[in-house]
Amino acid sequence: MTMQDDAYLKCIDPQCALEYPIESANVQCEKGHMLDVKYKNTPSEDLKELFAKRGRMDENIIFNESGVWRFRELLNFCKIDTFNVEECSKYLVSLDGAEGRQSKPYHMSKVAEFVGISTDNFWLQPEGYNPSGSFKDNGMATAVTHAKLIHAKKIVCASTGNTSASAGMFAANEGIDCDVYIPAGQIAPGKLSQAYQFGAQIVEVDGNFDDALKQSLDDAQKFGGYTVNSINPFRIEGQKTIPFRALEYLKWDAPDWIVYPGGALGNTSSCGKALMELYEWGWIKKIPRIAVINSEGASTLSDLYNGEFEGEELRWNKGTPNIELISRYYDHLDKEGIRPKTKATAIQIARPANILKALRALEFTKGVVTTVADSEMLDGMSVVGLNGFDCEMASGATVVGIKKLISKGIIKKDDVVVGILTGRQKDAMLPVEYHRNPENKFAIPPKN
């Protein structure tokens, strides 16, 4: 049995490298840096068999049904006996095993044709079929598990919508209070209504997501709330299971590419961490490249990574990224009054909190970053629908991002590609408006 009884927290800045016990209530290093959950043991590769078996077993053990906790040996920061169901029930937060349960890669022929790749080499993994309707449930299950471990009374988050829906859902299920900070008037009605439905306390912030995050962090500090945004390293642990499920489905034969939309870059960071760990343990022989797709209207990572600001290509640089370049970029946005602007509100973020972890992930995977326009994302969202799958506009970025990278020859025609569809449609009028306009590529306008 592999028990990771030696998990701890470590600052990601190699010059700082402070370490903390798992039971620490702070989600960041005291110098303000980001933290990683680290494990000392190398899990045995035999676990691959066990994970597959758990997925097939019908034993009414919710932790084996859960697409997150099925992999619990690889995220055992609670340091529990993972075979002891009673102990699992006491510690692990789960919505009756529903988180991550429905998500796996699918072939989508119409999308494959649209992006210009053979269906056999192309997979999309819909994370919208999570209980609250987005990938956020993967990481929220683990973040709320940690909140419970340290006896937090209240969880707090800022949100473009899906984080608040997910946090509200798990908090309600666990009987913990939940405050969600939202940019007033800027989140999809289907997401806002979920937060209300789950009994969360909504705090409306006059500003955008970046302003809401700042206020929520300040308030959490002042009033002792536990932050469950993706700066929380335990969120990142749960989100590692998104690539775990994709890789497991591909028999751990790594694809050439894994593609995500980029918002706060928690997904990018967790995918990078998952791949670093799996590669170090020898569970995968090849490192997939990560592609991050920004919206044109909120393109901080792309601008910095591709040298579109001051001509310097921002890199992790083995732990010494040019932080001043990032500060100057933000000063430039402030000075010019540039606000993030896209109809894909889930990725309408100008100050991605996980930018440094994302840079680390991109360095490890030789990643690429590009941007797409709103009209393209709507096409991407709509063609997914024609395959019988539902996704929201931000997830459409994955589709058209892949198309763009193929047309530029960066993704090769015979590469194996897995794209992540991050959430389901919660902005009911978007498809209606899209289809009413016959000019749109995939529109099927109503008849009368």
Residue 220 near ligand PLP by CB under 6 A? no
Question: Using CB under 6 A, which of 97, 385, 423, 431 touches ligand PLP?
Answer: 423
Among ligand PLP, Zn ion, none, partner that 264 touches (CB below 5 to 8 angstroms by kind): ligand PLP
Question: Among residues 88 and 265, whose Cβ is nearest to ligand PLP?
Answer: 265
For 316, phi then psi, to 5°, come to -60, -40
x/- string (CB under 6 A) for ligand PLP, residues 388-407?
A: ----x-xx------------
Alpha-helical segments (H) within 22-177: 47-56, 62-65, 85-91, 109-115, 136-149, 162-174
First to last CA, the chain: 65
Q: Which helix or strand (DSSP H or E) is residue 417 part of?
A: strand 417-421
- What DSSP letter does each residue of 226-252 carry, written as one string? EE-STTSHHHHHHHTHHHHHHHHHTTT
> What is the closest distance, in whole angstroms, from the C-beta atom of residue 29 to Zn ion in the complex?
3
CA–centroid distance for 269 within its chain: 8
> What is the closest distance, in whole angstroms, from the C-beta atom of residue 394 to ligand PLP in the complex?
4
Q: Which residues pair with 155 in a beta bridge?
A: 178, 226
Contact positions with ligand PLP (CB under 6 A) in 153-192: 162
Question: Of 215-223, 264-272, 302-310, 429-437, which segment contacts ligand PLP by CB under 6 A?
Answer: 264-272
Rounded to whole angstroms, the Cα distance separating 187 from 348 reads 10
Residue 9 near Zn ion by CB under 5 A? no
Residue 241 near ligand PLP by CB under 6 A? no
Question: Using CB under 6 A, which of 225, 262, 272, 297 touches ligand PLP?
Answer: 262
Question: Among residues 269 and 345, whose Cβ is nearest to Zn ion?
Answer: 269
Residue 230 near ligand PLP by CB under 6 A? yes
Our CA dihedral for 258, 261, 265, 266, rounded to 10 degrees, sits at -70
Specify the residue for token string 């499920």: 245
Candidates 158, 220, 185; CA nearest to 349 is 158
Question: Using CB under 5 A, which of 3, 20, 33, 364 touches Zn ion?
Answer: 33
Question: Using CB under 5 A, which of 4, 7, 9, 11 touches Zn ion?
Answer: 11
Q: Please, are residues 233 and 36 in contact by the beta-carbon 8 Å criterion?
A: yes
Specify the residue for token string 């989508």: 108
Number of residues that bind ligand PLP (CB under 6 A): 18
Q: What is the number of other CB atoms lying within 10 angstroms of the CB of residue 135? A: 31
Among Zn ion, ligand PLP, none, partner that 261 touches (CB below 5 to 8 angstroms by kind): ligand PLP
What lies within 8 Å, CB to CB, of 358 at 6+ separation is 262, 265, 268, 269, 272, 292, 301, 352
> What is the closest distance, in whole angstroms, from the C-beta atom of residue 76 to ligand PLP in the complex?
23
Q: Coil, strand or helix: which one is 292?
A: strand
Question: Of 10-18, 71-79, 211-219, 421-429, which segment contacts Zn ion by CB under 5 A?
Answer: 10-18
Contact positions with Zn ion (CB under 5 A) in 380-439: none
Residue 346 near ligand PLP by CB under 6 A? yes
Residue 62 near ligand PLP by CB under 6 A? no
Residue 7 near Zn ion by CB under 5 A? no
| Footprint on this chain of ligand PLP (rule: CB under 6 A) | 134, 136, 162, 230, 261-267, 346-347, 392, 394-395, 422-423
